[in-house]
Amino acid sequence: MEIRGGIDLGGTKIQAVVVDESAGILGDARRPTPKDGGVEGVTQAMSETLAEALQSASLDGTQLAGVGIGSPGTIDAGAGTVANAMNVVPDWKEAYPLGPIVSKLAGVPVSLGNDVQVATAAEFRLGAGEPYRSLLGVFWGTGVGGGLILDGKPWVGRGAGGEIGHMVIRRGGARCTCGRIGCMEAYAGRRAMELHARHLHEDRGRHTDLFKIMHKHDRTQLSSGIWERALREDDELAHHLIDRAVAALGAGIASAVNLLDVEAVVIGGGMGVRLGQPYVDRIVEAMHPHLFVDDRPPDVRLAELGDLGGAIGAALLATPSS
């Protein structure tokens, strides 16, 4: 049996899977992304998470044919390097040979890809995007990432395409965590939403239980689960900020559809997966007033591979050594 590993490197967590020839999941493991130890600490944790996924499948490293990694930042797939992954490690700006180092630790060839692109490719090949030839993947999480499949093939332009989160939906609007003004992510990215919630709560005295729920669950950040709980408890500020995010997603996704007229949109990411179909329906509603051709909107579907999509997509990258 040809076994491949996939590692999805995120700012919050490292997710690893081990899959068989048909990308069926044999084992998986997840760890928080270490906040100390720099990029070396992260690399070590990636290797350990993969080992754990192998263990959960009662396999050892010798049975592994190859590993794929989906990473944020600027990827040079040929050189196996990642640069500008500051949301993983704040000073990870220079190109770091993540591929060769994980390859050495795991003892197998490693292929690298952009995290959002591999997750989009996974949905296209195995998930909600299967019936379509063109689709836009929208990964609503810490930020808002986008991946494109056009005419059955990934489209990344000169390498950096898909930045749907940094489409401008409100000129002169909110400042984004990227430093720019009016990006969709400034309204819909979980990190931006947390900063805004904190500001409204701490500086403006707006009532919210968001941070109380966060502490109760021993979290240091407003995870997707915390947002979901706050919505369930009818926290007014949580509802307000999520409504604002949905409106921003609607405008931004509709803009992308007006430009590309893709067949389908797949909504994934931590927030997308956690909030699920009811919120996909709300995003569809928020898109509608902005769709130029509104009598045949694209299909909008919830990601089917859930939290594991990124790691599965990474495994699809892996070139078996044999």
Q: Would you count residue 170 as binding its own copies (CB under 8 A)?
A: yes
Q: Would you count residue 175 as binding its own copies (CB under 8 A)?
A: no
In three-state secondary structure terms, 2 is coil
Residue 105 DSSP label: H
Site string for its own copies, 261-300 (x = CB under 8 A): xxx-------------------------xx-xx--x----
Q: Would you count residue 86 as binding its own copies (CB under 8 A)?
A: no
Report how far Cα 280 is from the mean position of its chain's Cα atoms: 16
Q: Would you count residue 166 as binding its own copies (CB under 8 A)?
A: yes
- Residue type at 309 in one-letter notation: G
**CB neighbour burial string for 115-126, b if at least 16 within 10 angstroms, e if fewer:** bbbbbbbbbbeb
Determine which residue in the list 173, 225, 276, 306 makes contact with its own copies, applying CB under 8 A.
173
- Give yes or no for a contact between 273 and 305, defined as CB atoms under 8 angstroms apart: no
Q: State the nearest-atom distance from the C-beta of 106 to its own copies, in Å.
A: 31
Nearer to its own copies, 10 or 252 (CB): 252
Q: Would you count residue 23 as binding its own copies (CB under 8 A)?
A: no
Nearer to its own copies, 149 or 318 (CB): 149
β pairing state of 3-9 and 13-19:
antiparallel
Distance CA 265, CA 287 (A): 11
- Give yes or no for a contact between 78 and 94, defined as CB atoms under 8 angstroms apart: no
Nearer to its own copies, 6 or 145 (CB): 145
Q: Would you count residue 162 as binding its own copies (CB under 8 A)?
A: yes
Determine which residue in the list 85, 98, 110, 167 makes contact with its own copies, applying CB under 8 A.
167
Q: State the nearest-atom distance from the C-beta of 177 to its own copies, in Å.
A: 12
Q: Would you count residue 243 as binding its own copies (CB under 8 A)?
A: no
Query: 225 burial class (0-12, 13-18, 19+ CB within 10 angstroms)?
Result: middle
Q: State the nearest-atom distance from the C-beta of 164 to its own copies, in Å.
A: 6
Determine which residue in the list 193, 248, 249, 305 makes contact with its own copies, applying CB under 8 A.
248
CA distances from 256 to 73, 147, 169, 291 (A): 22, 11, 11, 9
Q: Would you count residue 134 as binding its own copies (CB under 8 A)?
A: yes
